């Protein structure tokens, strides 16, 4: 008999979710104002270690508003990885700006800080305190690192580089809530952090997002833009073109209940990753993407590296065994919308991305599930 599906990443709803959502329904506080929105903003920012949190309707909206608030304007350029989910790159385009894709670091799978340094120092020029890309003539106005699969980018040197050129950093921490870089939580490591609470993330609001920052004026500006730029709500005095990007109280209620469980979710995911690693250690053809000594990953999605020849056939085999797996995203610069964008030092990224398979990583995963996944991987290689 076929074993039941082992999902890739599903929510764990096991705390106060029903209670808090019911309270919203019972009191009528269901929409974009309510105590749970305030509570969620406060508890996420406290957890992450920033002074301010601004809730948004999703992570993409958090990125869009952060880029706008950091001053990204039409025709500017933003440094971004090509190896990422598409949302941060689309957010750059929503601002009318262009991504410049820099290669990723095979150790972290995130933006390669040395390559960013090479690009900015060798391919750009400072004029009147602003940085311009020699090739395109456009102004470079921000850096957008993404903490891929939960593993932090090497932020200390990136902050140093950004500081040298006066560039803000918008940290896409959508996948890395609970991860740490040198003892500090991702989302608190630069100008602004952005989170997603989509259903497949470590905690979920159904859908939702958050901006975290220590900069009060940025937080106020993002809040303002997210509420239709309504300066005096009672009088409908809108002072610019804003957005309807606020999170609802129902979603925030779900988020507050989920956040109460986050530490245990991180612990379970780290334990599961260690279990995978120990069991996979005997398989020479498979490597589990692991953490750097300075990092503590939330292991949002455990990801295998295999040879590019094996990747698709191993994936097909695991899917046939009711194990939900997924290839990594297509590189952004290979998508039709982004193929004209500038690409810099991408060779290593190309090679790494072809090897990735994300494997079941939900909080509910049991040791028995992990053993089954590893056994099936073993069978695949034994049968080759
Ligand atoms: C790296 C990254 N950035 C941004 C997002 C977008 O978040 P949302 O789906 O909440 O808009 C996601 C996932 O959904 C993501 O994985």
Residues 100 and 80 in one domain: yes
Atom of ligand 1 nearest to the CA of 196: 10
The answer to whether 200 touches 215, Cβ cutoff 8 Å, is: no
Last residue of a domain, one of 236, 259, 282: 259
Confidence of residue 32 (pLDDT cuts 50, 70, 90): confident
Query: Does ligand 1 have an atom closer than 6 angstroms to the CB of 213?
Result: no
Q: Take residue 289 and report the two structure tokens written for it.
A: 């993407």
- Domain containing 364 equals 262-383
Residues 337 and 199 in one domain: no
Residues 6+ apart with CB under 8 A from 364: 10, 12
**Is the pLDDT confidence value at 1 over 80?**
no
> Domain tally for the chain?
2
The answer to whether 71 touches 48, Cβ cutoff 8 Å, is: no
How high is the pLDDT of residue 352?
85
**How does pLDDT run across 191-205, given as a tens digit for each residue?**
999 999 999 999 999
Q: Which of 174, 205, 258 to mutate to test the pocket of ligand 1 (most atoms within 8 A of CB)?
A: 174
Query: Does ligand 1 have an atom closer than 6 angstroms to the CB of 145?
Result: no
The answer to whether residue 66 is domain-embedded is: yes
The answer to whether residue 205 is domain-embedded is: yes
Instruction: Report phi then psi at 27, rounded to 5.
Output: -95, -10
**How does pLDDT run across 266-283, given as a tens digit for each residue?**
999 999 999 999 999 999
Closest residue by Cα to atom 12, ligand 1, is: 174
CA-based R_g, the chain, Å: 21
The answer to whether residue 81 is domain-embedded is: yes
**Is the pLDDT confidence value at 354 over 90?**
no
Residues 44 and 155 in one domain: yes
Residues 196 and 267 in one domain: no
Sheet holding 180-181, edge to edge: 184-185, 180-181, 295-296
**How does pLDDT run across 126-142, given as a tens digit for each residue?**
999 999 999 999 999 99
Ligand 1 center from residue 59 Cα (angstroms): 5
Query: Does ligand 1 have an atom closer than 6 angstroms to the CB of 209?
Result: yes
The answer to whether residue 102 is domain-embedded is: yes
Average pLDDT over residues 318-346: 97
The answer to whether residue 110 is domain-embedded is: yes
Q: In 3D, which of 103, 100, 84 has the Cα closest to residue 350? A: 103
What's the CA gap between 249 and 100, in Å, rounded?
Answer: 37
What's the CA gap between 263 and 185, in Å, rounded?
Answer: 12
Q: In 3D, which of 90, 101, 95, 102 has the Cα closest to residue 76? A: 95
Is 201 annotated in the active site? Answer: yes
Range list of H helices, 100-153: 113-123
What's the CA gap between 272 and 61, in Å, rounded?
Answer: 31
Atom of ligand 1 nearest to the CA of 148: 1
Catalytically annotated residue among 115, 201, 269, 355: 201
Question: Which CATH number does the domain housing residue 186 bear?
Answer: 3.40.640.10
Residues 179 and 130 in one domain: yes
Question: Which CATH number does the domain housing residue 304 bear?
Answer: 3.90.1150.10
What's the CA gap between 329 and 338, in Å, rounded?
Answer: 14
Query: Does ligand 1 have an atom closer than 6 angstroms to the CB of 85?
Result: yes
Average pLDDT, the chain: 97
How high is the pLDDT of residue 72?
98
What's the CA gap between 142 and 111, in Å, rounded?
Answer: 14
Output the CA angle 322-328-334, nearest 5 degrees: 135
How high is the pLDDT of residue 246?
97
Last residue of a domain, one of 224, 259, 294: 259
Residues 171 and 210 in one domain: yes
Query: Does ligand 1 have an atom closer than 6 angstroms to the CB of 153?
Result: no
Average pLDDT over residues 329-333: 96
Query: Does ligand 1 have an atom closer than 6 angstroms to the CB of 87?
Result: yes
Query: Does ligand 1 have an atom closer than 6 angstroms to the CB of 172?
Result: yes
Confidence of residue 351 (pLDDT cuts 50, 70, 90): confident
The answer to whether residue 202 is domain-embedded is: yes
Buried (b) or exposed (e) across 304-313, using 16+ Cβ within 10 A?
bbbeeebbee
**Cα separation values, 151 from 129, 208, 288, Å:** 33, 21, 13
The answer to whether residue 330 is domain-embedded is: yes
Count of alpha carbons within 13 angstroms of residue 173, beta-carbon side: 34
Confidence of residue 348 (pLDDT cuts 50, 70, 90): confident
Residues 196 and 288 in one domain: no
Confidence of residue 217 (pLDDT cuts 50, 70, 90): very high
What's the CA gap between 258 and 15, in Å, rounded?
Answer: 7
The answer to whether residue 98 is domain-embedded is: yes
Average pLDDT over residues 179-186: 98
Ligand 1 center from residue 377 Cα (angstroms): 29
Ligand 1 center from residue 204 Cα (angstroms): 12
Instruction: Report phi then psi at 53, rounded to 5.
Output: -135, 135
Q: Take residue 298 and report the two structure tokens written for it.
A: 């939330």
Ligand 1 center from residue 89 Cα (angstroms): 11
**How does pLDDT run across 76-131, given as a tens digit for each residue?**
999 999 999 999 999 999 999 999 999 999 999 999 999 999 999 999 999 999 99
Average pLDDT over residues 302-326: 96
**Is the pLDDT confidence value at 170 over 90?**
yes
Average pLDDT over residues 29-53: 96
């Amino acid at each position: 008999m076929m074993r039941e599906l082992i999902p890739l990443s599903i929510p764990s709803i096991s705390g106060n979710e029903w209670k808090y959502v019911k309270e919203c329904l019972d009191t009528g506080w269901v929409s974009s104002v309510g105590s749970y929105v305030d509570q969620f903003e406060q508890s996420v920012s406290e957890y992450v270690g920033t002074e301010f949190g601004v809730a948004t309707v999703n992570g993409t909206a958090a990125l869009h508003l952060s880029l706008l608030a950091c001053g990204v304007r039409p025709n500017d350029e933003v440094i971004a990885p090509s190896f990422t989910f598409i949302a941060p790159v689309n957010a750059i385009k929503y601002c009318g700006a262009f991504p410049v894709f820099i290669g990723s670091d095979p150790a972290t799978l995130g933006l390669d800080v040395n390559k960013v340094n090479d690009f900015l120092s060798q391919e750009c020029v400072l004029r009147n305190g602003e940085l311009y890309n020699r090739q395109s003539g456009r102004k470079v106005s921000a850096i957008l690192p993404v903490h891929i699969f939960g593993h932090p980018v090497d932020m200390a040197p990136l902050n140093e580089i950004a500081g040298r050129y006066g560039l803000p950093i918008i940290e896409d921490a959508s996948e890395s809530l609970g991860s740490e870089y040198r003892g500090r939580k991702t989302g608190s490591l630069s100008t602004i952090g952005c989170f997603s609470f989509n259903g497949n993330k470590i905690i979920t609001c159904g859908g939702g997002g958050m901006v975290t920052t220590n900069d009060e004026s940025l937080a106020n500006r993002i809040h303002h833009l997210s509420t239709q730029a309504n300066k005096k709500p009672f009088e409908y005095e809108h002072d610019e073109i804003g957005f309807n990007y606020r999170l609802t109280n129902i979603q925030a209620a779900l988020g507050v209940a989920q956040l109460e469980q986050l530490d245990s979710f991180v612990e379970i995911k780290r334990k599961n990753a260690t279990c995978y690693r120990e069991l996979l250690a005997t398989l020479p053809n498979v490597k589990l993407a692991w953490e750097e000594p300075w990092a503590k990953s939330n292991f949002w999605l455990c990801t295998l590296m295999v040879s590019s020849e094996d990747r698709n056939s191993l994936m097909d085999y695991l899917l046939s065994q009711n194990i939900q797996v997924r290839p990594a995203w297509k590189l952004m610069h290979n998508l039709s919308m982004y193929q004209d964008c500038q690409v810099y030092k991408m060779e290593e990224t190309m090679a790494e991305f072809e090897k990735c398979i994300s494997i079941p990583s939900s909080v509910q995963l049991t040791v028995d599930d992990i053993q089954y996944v590893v056994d099936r991987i073993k069978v695949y290689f034994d049968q080759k």
